[in-house]
Chain A
């Protein structure tokens, strides 16, 4: 199975901050990586697919980059509605796996 390691697990930030979350894969997954945002009591929402493609309707302050084994999700200017938990997922091979999540909280 491909393991995904997200870091940090938790981060505290302020509105307007630039935030970067990292997802490392245990083997090369090319660009088969997605990022999701999940708010309490809600289903995850797709932000980024194919490592760097912005899902339709997602604000441009979200940016995904990377390929191979190292990926990043960057929020250029954190907004109040961005406080949530973020997950990466690899779709390169079965079983599909998720990272452990990164909770972004208000400083």
Chain B
């Protein structure tokens, strides 16, 4: 059974960097597929942040591209998200997910990250 689990600080100060890790079990990232970060501000809809392939190639949402880095560590079976210069608008539940060619079939439970001083 494929499982994904997000981890990282739940509180980040404005202007600082948000860092999250997604640990995958039940499937080796190195075998393939894209792996994505998606977020959802409280009470709002879903926003795709970016995706990474096991080889390291990445795609980012243009609205966040200047602040986002997604990386993969196949030896740890993890991929990570860095979002710099955060503001209150970055407060959201952050999800990681596996992306097959026509849908995201496995998701983490999500982690709430609040940006506040």
Interface residues on B, range: 20 to 34
Nearest-CB residue, chain A, relative to B47: A98
Q: For the complex, is B51 an interface residue (Cβ under 8 Å from A)?
A: yes
Q: Majority SS of interface residues in chain A?
A: loop
Chain A: interface residue total (CB-CB under 8 A): 28
- Total A-B pairs, Cβ < 8 A: 68
Most buried by B among A32, A42, A43, A89: A43
Pick from A43, A96, A99: contact of B107, CB below 8 A: A43
Question: Shortest beta-carbon distance, B103 to chain A, in Å?
Answer: 3
Cβ-neighbour of A95 out of B62, B99, B104 (below 8 A): B62
Complex: chain B residue closest to A45, CB-CB: B107
Give the contacting residue for A34; candidates B63, B103, B107; CB below 8 A.
Answer: B103
Q: CA A87 – CA B46 in complex, angstroms?
A: 8
Identify 19 new A-B residue pairs, CB closer than 8 A, beyond the known A50-B102, A87-B46, A98-B47: A31-B102, A33-B102, A44-B46, A44-B95, A44-B104, A46-B103, A49-B102, A53-B102, A91-B101, A91-B102, A94-B59, A95-B59, A95-B60, A95-B62, A96-B36, A98-B46, A99-B45, A101-B45, A101-B46
